[in-house]
A and B are shown apart, each in its own frame.
Chain A
Amino acid sequence: MLNIAERYSFIGKDIPRRDADSKVRGLLEFSTDISVPGMYYGRIVYSPHPFADIEEIDTREAESMGAVVITPKDVPSKPFNIRLVSVNEVTFKDWNILTFSPRYLGDPVAAVAAPSEELAQKAAESIKFKFRKVYDPILDAFESMGSQSAPIREKILKGEEEIPVRRNVGAELNYLEGDLEKGKREADVVIERAFKTNRRYHFQLEPKTSLCVPEHDGRFSIYTTTQTIHNTRILIGQVFGIPLSKISVKRIPIGGSFGSSIQTNLVTLISVALCMKAKKPVKISLTREEDMYDHADYEMHLKLRVGARRSGELTFGELVNIMDIGAHQVQAYPLLGTALGWFVSLYKWKNIKYEGKAVYTNKTPSCAFRGYGAPQISWAVESIMDELAEELGMDPLDLKLKNYVGLGDVFWGQGPTVRSVIRSDGVKELVEKGKQLIGWDRRKPPSMKQGRYRTGIGFGRSFHTSGAGGPISGEVIDYTGATLKLNEDGTLDYITALQDHGGGTLEAHAKIIAEELGVPPHLINIVPSDTSVTPYDVCTHASRGTYVGGEAAQIVKSKVFEAATRILPKAVNPEAFKLVYDETLEQAVVYVEGMKDMRITLSEIARTSWQRNWGTIAATVSYRATSAPPTFTVFFVEVEVDTYTGNVKPKRVVAGADLGTVINPKLAEGQLHGGFVMGWSMAYLEDTIYDRRTGELLNKGMVVDYKIPTSQDSPKLEDFKVIFANTYEPTGPYGAKGLGEAALNPVAGAVANAIYNAVGVRFYTLPITPERILEAISGGGKQ
């Protein structure tokens, strides 16, 4: 069998990204770089208390400075949800653009616009409040559910129906499968542990920005930080009652996201509200500090109970998932389902019980974060599986390989309504190779380690879905679209609403189209687009390695063949044609096998269609994936712990990924490097810590006290090995699957297991800081 690079002209080859040069030179414009004449600058005003009811907002001073001011009275008051990915009936709505009832410190209560940002800032600072009531902030999920706690919300909307909120629980999901009691009876070993994850800030490079421009004909143009231009447009339309045909949301390069802009950002809606009142273009760029108050990961309190027979066969798994969601719901309900999905699709527990609750607190609202709960669930599960293996006297690799959900099994990564059967699985191959590379067999138990510096090796595995498609239409909206047109010289314009977060999604699309039509990627224009000219796309999320570009390319190809039958004498059957990229001509040729004169270049077909008035060869498709195949990943990590200071260093990493056909090897490797560093950071460094008294972030949003690793904190390149499984995903484009999130999911588990292997102490709270390690080692106990 030919390897990928030999089989294909473009797929599997490293081709420089088209935006690399302009990014490096600072020429690429992000939303915050865009200015238009006459533009006002907006600033958002937040409640000085995290949990309060406001009686009155005094804006007189701001107005006397010449600022345009909006308060909750100036904006629509019907609650909505900023994320539109779930179908309406299961969308929980508790958001307003501005509120008289702030529930966390970043809850916007007013906004101002002025000709300069400095003036806007001064005006914002001059706004005064009179409070009806100020409550003590509730910063703990369990406290929040207690009978003593004030209700953070009393009523919210579910779809169009008003529902009460009891004990600050915003959403619930319970699940039972099999016979739990039977599973418990069959278990020879049972382990129960409670885990608490951290509440990380996404720390995407670009703080959120929005520019709203009123056009002369009554339309609004919007330039904003988003993973989904269409949902942004729909939400603006719904909230303000503006027809969609009057709103055009532009696709602007985004400076990373990691899930933080899956929803429509509040800053976008505020810029629209200000723009409507000021009748001027208004731009708001969040400061880094505001951005840190804007979004965070979900903090999960996970109680896990699992059982196995002596043979290592699992008999049951029980998970209680209490999520601290902060002050609003973004996708708490779907995540309760997805977290369950990750759990049941990691290992075959057989008998399953799940209890999930999403609890309001007076903290920054949680939203999706790369991995969407899988890094948290995988950390807990991979930790407890290692403990189970130790109890059983088994190698954790054997226990995991024996029980994992793999080839031919049903898997439902993205929650109960998104199920499919696994058709490609490279886990065994990756574990075998990784084991050799890291030297797993030389790994010693912690009891045999001595001295100040102790090394440990840990293993973690996980997976992620490629998208949220499925055979049936569930609770999740998932389809996308694109237009592809053959230009008059044989080059292509590719028009899609899909966003590239920086991972190279659109580059991969261009490659697939290039492969399909024999047009080199650099001759495919990825058209800067907006909602007006693109079919609906739900969102670039859930690692969707979508086939939409390839789908459009296939239609274009059949039209090209039809045109060829009109040009070449005697040709009647379009199906007889083949298309190949000719390296010497540097373009595609259409031909019939074995017939010398039946050969024509693609550019000649394009030119002829134009000259003879045959019209444009183009295709517009709307596409839904019928499955969401899992990309499997494994990480072997070697750490060194300084037992005198608790400092931990990552020494060596073997990262293995089964992503089917590797379309872009360098970019895929980059994802795994980045995934490791982010996972390392989750395991060892990050948390947003709140002042228990004031509800403020202890670091006040300042990056000086929110640390993520630098390159110096990462393993050396020569100590980081990437391996790809040799698999082919039959439902994916050219056999490919997604990678962005799978690259992160197993890391914290692998790191935690490595730390355990080094020092013999298990940690059940993230991050595992040097402080916690030293405390545990000197206390000699578990943490």
Chain B
Amino acid sequence: MSSLNRMNTRILPTSFNYYEPRTIDEALKLLSELSPEVRILAGGTDLIVKMKARQVEPKNIINIKRIEGLRYITEEKGKIKIGALATWRDLEKSWQISKKIPALFDAISVMGSVQVRSMATIAGNLCNASPAADSAPPLLVHGAIVKASSIRGTREIPLDKFFLSPGKTILMPDEIVVEIEIPVPPQRSSSAFLKLSRTAMDLAKASAAAYLEVEDGKVVDAKIALGAVAPRPVRSLSAEAELIGKPATEETFSLASRQVVKDISPIDDIRSTASYRKKVSPILVEDALKLAFSRIRGELG
């Protein structure tokens, strides 16, 4: 049965209750009362599209954008902290991100358009749990932690454990992501993110992020993550194992990147094919490793 009579991107004929809490406590209380028949609204660049397309029809909407004190990017005790309402554009303008989390900065520069980046939040990108979410691979390789609050308290979830399947996270229906925390990476490390897409404004066909820490010409730590090639953004532990302890050379990168096919399970969809995704994933990883390494060398002078 065709969906043409129902889904579109202009008319929203359904009705819902709309809430605009001013404090996080108020929001958490509302959420616990209304869950599970409720959706959180941040930038709305995913949610409103899905509502118009009738993929979700929430009875209640809690707009969290009016909550004071959730829009920040700070650095504290070796951690970069990103508030749940920080937009992609906020991060784009932050020197901490461009200097210290280069893979995330790469992702920002290929995400949407200025208009979208000015509305959309990073937290929303993660909570939307698209396998192609551009912030996911960079945050995965940087070991980000998601802090989620409910009236029951606040818990810390390593991003590795956050995504379950397309559109699904480990969050309970009454939880709000309040902060994303990234450890400030040590010296002699860097990262990079690369994305293949049909045009400059598009979701990824495949993407990859690489994080490298090098000492005396040796890889002492490495993390690899990929997007749009599995039901969720994934780490490639196989590739990482082939990197750690090895000399930081192009040969190592090339051998390691071939391992990524073990950790991915791409599919055919309208954006690309499984076989293409399989072919380009190692290329993306290898290119990202080289780029990250060149950044380290650039920094070493």
Interface residues of A (CB under 8 A from B): 45-50, 105-106, 117-119, 121-122, 124-125, 285, 287-290, 293, 644-647, 685, 689, 694-696, 698-705, 707-710, 712-713, 770-771, 774-775, 778
Q: What does DSSP make chain B's interface, helix, strand, loop or mixed? A: loop
Q: Which residues of A contact B273 (CB under 8 A)?
A: 771
Q: How far is the CB of B37 from chain A (nearest CB, A)?
A: 20
**Complex Cα distance A529/B1, Å?**
43
Which among A119, A293, A645, A774 has the highest number of chain B CB atoms within 10 Å? Answer: A645
Which among A48, A699, A707, A771 has the highest number of chain B CB atoms within 10 Å? Answer: A771
**Chain A residue, CB-CB nearest to B196:** A645
> Is B199 within 8 A of A106, CB to CB?
no
**Complex Cα distance A234/B12, Å?**
36
State whether A644 and B280 are in contact (beta carbons under 8 Å apart), knowing that A117-B11, A707-B199, A707-B202 are contacts in the complex: yes
Q: How far is the CB of A280 from chain B (nearest CB, A)?
A: 19
**Complex Cα distance A105/B4, Å?**
8
Interface string of B257-298 (1 = CB under 8 A from A): 000000000000011110110011001000000000000000
- What would 11 A/B residue contacts be, using CB atoms closer than 8 Å? A46-B4, A121-B13, A124-B5, A288-B8, A645-B196, A645-B283, A699-B270, A701-B4, A713-B200, A770-B196, A775-B276
> Is A705 within 8 A of B2, CB to CB?
no
**Complex Cα distance A289/B8, Å?**
6
Q: Is B198 an interface residue (CB 8 A)?
A: yes
> Is B2 within 8 A of A105, CB to CB?
yes
Q: Is B7 an interface residue (CB 8 A)?
A: yes
Q: How far is the CB of A539 from chain B (nearest CB, A)?
A: 28
**Complex Cα distance A285/B2, Å?**
20
| In-complex Cβ contact of A118 among B11, B199, B201 (8 A) | B11
- Closest 4 pairs between A and B when the two form their complex, measured CB to CB: A712-B200, A287-B8, A121-B13, A118-B13
> Is B198 within 8 A of A707, CB to CB?
yes
> Is A293 within 8 A of B196, CB to CB?
no
Q: Which residues of A contact B107 (CB under 8 A)?
A: none
Q: Which residues of B contact A293 (CB under 8 A)?
A: 4
> Is A704 within 8 A of B198, CB to CB?
no
> Is A287 within 8 A of B201, CB to CB?
no
Q: How far is the CB of B235 from chain A (nearest CB, A)?
A: 22
State whether A705 and B270 are in contact (beta carbons under 8 Å apart), knowing that A293-B4, A694-B2, A778-B279 are contacts in the complex: yes
Q: How far is the CB of B32 from chain A (nearest CB, A)?
A: 31
**Complex Cα distance A288/B9, Å?**
7
Q: How far is the CB of A254 from chain B (nearest CB, A)?
A: 19
Q: Which residues of A contact B119 (CB under 8 A)?
A: none
Q: How far is the CB of A486 from chain B (nearest CB, A)?
A: 46
Q: Is B203 an interface residue (CB 8 A)?
A: yes
> Is B2 within 8 A of A696, CB to CB?
yes
| CB within 8 Å of A: which B6-45 residues | 6-13
State whether A702 and B2 are in contact (beta carbons under 8 Å apart), knowing that A771-B273, A774-B279 are contacts in the complex: no
Q: Is B157 an interface residue (CB 8 A)?
A: no
| In-complex Cβ contact of B3 among A50, A118, A119, A700 (8 A) | A700
**Complex Cα distance A124/B13, Å?**
11
Q: Which residues of A contact B8 (CB under 8 A)?
A: 287-290, 701
Q: How far is the CB of B292 from chain A (nearest CB, A)?
A: 18
State whether A710 and B201 are in contact (beta carbons under 8 Å apart), knowing that A45-B5, A121-B13, A700-B7 are contacts in the complex: yes
State whether A287 and B9 are in contact (beta carbons under 8 Å apart), knowing that A46-B2, A106-B4 are contacts in the complex: yes
Q: Is B53 an interface residue (CB 8 A)?
A: yes
**Chain A residue, CB-CB nearest to B287:** A644
**Chain B residue, CB-CB nearest to A106:** B4
Q: Which residues of A contact B199 (CB under 8 A)?
A: 685, 707-710, 712-713
**Complex Cα distance A117/B280, Å?**
46
Which among A46, A685, A701 has the highest number of chain B CB atoms within 10 Å? Answer: A701
**Complex Cα distance A698/B199, Å?**
18
Interface residues of B (CB under 8 A from A): 1-13, 49, 53, 196, 198-203, 270-273, 275-276, 279-280, 283
**Chain B residue, CB-CB nearest to A700:** B3
**Complex Cα distance A702/B271, Å?**
13
Q: Which residues of A contact B271 (CB under 8 A)?
A: 705
> Is A121 within 8 A of B11, CB to CB?
yes
**Complex Cα distance A285/B202, Å?**
26
**Complex Cα distance A75/B207, Å?**
53
Q: How far is the CB of A181 from chain B (nearest CB, A)?
A: 45
**Chain B residue, CB-CB nearest to A685:** B198
**Chain B residue, CB-CB nearest to A293:** B4
**Chain B residue, CB-CB nearest to A712:** B200
Q: Which residues of B contact A285 (CB under 8 A)?
A: 10
**Complex Cα distance A49/B4, Å?**
10
Q: Which residues of A contact B7 (CB under 8 A)?
A: 289, 700-701
Q: How far is the CB of B196 from chain A (nearest CB, A)?
A: 6
**Complex Cα distance A708/B200, Å?**
10
| In-complex Cβ contact of B5 among A119, A125, A710 (8 A) | A125
**Complex Cα distance A521/B273, Å?**
54
> Is B11 within 8 A of A689, CB to CB?
no
**Chain B residue, CB-CB nearest to A105:** B2
**Complex Cα distance A698/B6, Å?**
16
**Complex Cα distance A342/B267, Å?**
41
**Complex Cα distance A293/B8, Å?**
12
Which among B11, B279, B283 has the highest number of chain A CB atoms within 10 Å? Answer: B11
Q: Which residues of B contact A705 (CB under 8 A)?
A: 270-271
> Is A48 within 8 A of B5, CB to CB?
yes
Q: Which residues of A contact B198 (CB under 8 A)?
A: 685, 707
Q: Which residues of B contact A46 (CB under 8 A)?
A: 2, 4-5
Since A46-B2, A289-B9, A645-B196 are in contact, a sample of 15 more A-B pairs with Cβ atoms closer than 8 Å, ordered by chain A residue number, is A47-B2, A50-B2, A121-B11, A287-B10, A289-B7, A694-B2, A696-B4, A698-B270, A699-B270, A700-B4, A703-B9, A704-B49, A704-B203, A712-B199, A774-B279
Q: Which residues of B contact A287 (CB under 8 A)?
A: 8-11
Q: Which residues of B contact A699 (CB under 8 A)?
A: 270
Q: How far is the CB of B159 from chain A (nearest CB, A)?
A: 25
> Is B2 within 8 A of A49, CB to CB?
yes
**Complex Cα distance A293/B7, Å?**
13
> Is A289 within 8 A of B2, CB to CB?
no
Q: How far is the CB of B9 from chain A (nearest CB, A)?
A: 6
> Is A771 within 8 A of B276, CB to CB?
yes
Q: How far is the CB of B194 from chain A (nearest CB, A)?
A: 10
**Chain B residue, CB-CB nearest to A121:** B13
> Is B270 within 8 A of A770, CB to CB?
no
Q: Which residues of B contact A117 (CB under 8 A)?
A: 11
Q: Which residues of B contact A45 (CB under 8 A)?
A: 5
Q: How far is the CB of A713 from chain B (nearest CB, A)?
A: 5
> Is A118 within 8 A of B5, CB to CB?
no
**Complex Cα distance A703/B202, Å?**
10
Q: Which residues of A contact B279 (CB under 8 A)?
A: 774, 778
Q: Which residues of B contact A124 (CB under 8 A)?
A: 5
Q: How far is the CB of A161 from chain B (nearest CB, A)?
A: 34
Q: How far is the CB of A689 from chain B (nearest CB, A)?
A: 7
**Complex Cα distance A5/B247, Å?**
67
**Chain A residue, CB-CB nearest to B194:** A645
Which among A288, A646, A707, A778 has the highest number of chain B CB atoms within 10 Å? Answer: A707
**Complex Cα distance A317/B13, Å?**
57
State whether A702 and B9 are in contact (beta carbons under 8 Å apart), knowing that A645-B196, A689-B270 are contacts in the complex: yes
Q: How far is the CB of A706 from chain B (nearest CB, A)?
A: 9
Q: Which residues of B contact A119 (CB under 8 A)?
A: 13
> Is A770 within 8 A of B276, CB to CB?
yes
**Complex Cα distance A605/B12, Å?**
60
**Chain B residue, CB-CB nearest to A771:** B276
Q: Which residues of A contact B270 (CB under 8 A)?
A: 689, 698-699, 705
Q: How far is the CB of A415 from chain B (nearest CB, A)?
A: 35
**Complex Cα distance A708/B6, Å?**
25
> Is B4 within 8 A of A289, CB to CB?
yes
Q: Which residues of A contact B3 (CB under 8 A)?
A: 696, 700
Which among B2, B13, B199 has the highest number of chain A CB atoms within 10 Å? Answer: B2
Q: How far is the CB of A368 from chain B (nearest CB, A)?
A: 23
**Complex Cα distance A707/B271, Å?**
10
Q: Which residues of B contact A696 (CB under 8 A)?
A: 2-4
**Complex Cα distance A770/B283, Å?**
14
